[in-house]
Amino acid sequence: MSLTLLYRGKNVRFSMQLNKLRWLTALLCFGLLSGTIIHLIISGNKHTDINQTDLGQYQITKAHEKENLTSVAKPNNEQLTALTIKLAELQSQVLRLNALGERLAADADIPEKEFNFSELPPAGGPSIQSEKIPSKSVEQLLNEISLFESEIKHEEKQLHMLESLVFGHHIENNRYLSGRPISKGWLSSYYGVRKDPFNGKATMHKGIDFAGKEDAAIIATASGIVTWVGKRYGYGELVEINHGDGLKTRYGHNKTIVVAVGDVVEKGQTIARMGSTGRSTGPHVHYEILRNNTQIDPLKFVYRKAKK
């Protein structure tokens, strides 16, 4: 078998005769060349589609990032209101601290130059303009403000305690333990060995119980500083007051407590409301007196006369 190729141009005439082997070789080369061209065309189309998909996803991601940055940079009205309220609260607390500090400094004869609340404390140091200040979200700022507010409240309590200790407010003249921890009610159980109201066994009762109506006022039997507020096993809701010289008082089974740790209380001040929390059979206050962290019989303190 043979194949004759004839080409006629304007000024050229060309002819070639192919035998069977040459004809198969030419056909094979033509097929390979055609397949290669088709593959390149299809691959190019697929690559273009992939690039367009990636580009679309990239644009969507960037749009979300831009939206997030915008929301951080521009807080909404609710966030601005929250920040404004927090700053106003901090300002009022700082003003109270300044007033208390100025009074303490003046009465304690602290030099004004060393403790001047009307001016900012001296500060300085090199300024590094090249360092970038990290940005914070509104949520982060609110959280930091809340933590700072808690610190200010703690410092305020400490200053009030210092004021009482320095000037002896309510402590020196009124820390003499005397009287009952209630204004209305009756003595229902004495200090010492008694029959346990729950299991009937003989047990040691390290305090005195005063019964009364629920919500009756529980009062401090001397001035002091509140050192414990909250639940304690057996006592229920407990208040503990430190009166100095190794003396403490405890008031247990309260329904509600109206003082906080760090508060300076006066003799006769309401510190809680009578209840039956903890290990209790009814509304009463379990009253203890401790000397050097050991319970003693409160009875002689209950009946002795207060100092005038």
**DSSP characters over 99-152:** HHHHHHHHHTT--TTTS-TTSPPP------SSSPPPP--HHHHHHHHHHHHHHH
Q: How far apart are CA 25 and CA 32, in angstroms?
A: 11
What CATH superfamily is the domain 186-303? Glucose Permease (Domain IIA) (2.70.70.10)
Q: How far apart are CA 106 and CA 104, in angstroms?
A: 6
Name the phi and psi angles at 180, rounded to 5: -95, 155
The per-residue pLDDT for 41 is 62
pLDDT of residue 212 exceeding 90, the answer is yes
The per-residue pLDDT for 148 is 77
Task: Calculate what percentage of the chain has a pLDDT beyond 70.
Answer: 58
In which band, very low, low, confident or very high, does the pLDDT at 72 lie, cut at 50, 70 and 90? very low
In which band, very low, low, confident or very high, does the pLDDT at 122 lie, cut at 50, 70 and 90? low
Tell how far CA 214 is from the center of its chain: 34
SS3 state of residue 278: coil
User: Is 75 in contact with 86 (CB distance < 8 Å)?
Assistant: no
Torsion of CA 213, 233, 292, 201, to 10 degrees: 80
More confident residue, 206 or 66: 206
**Domain map (residue ranges) of the chain:** 2-73, 77-116+139-167, 186-303
CA-closest candidate to residue 241, choices 231, 223, 226: 226
As a whole number, the mean pLDDT across the chain is: 76
Q: Alpha-carbon torsion 295, 299, 302, 303, what sign?
A: negative
Stretch among 78-87, 119-128, 157-166, 194-203 having the lowest mean pLDDT: 119-128
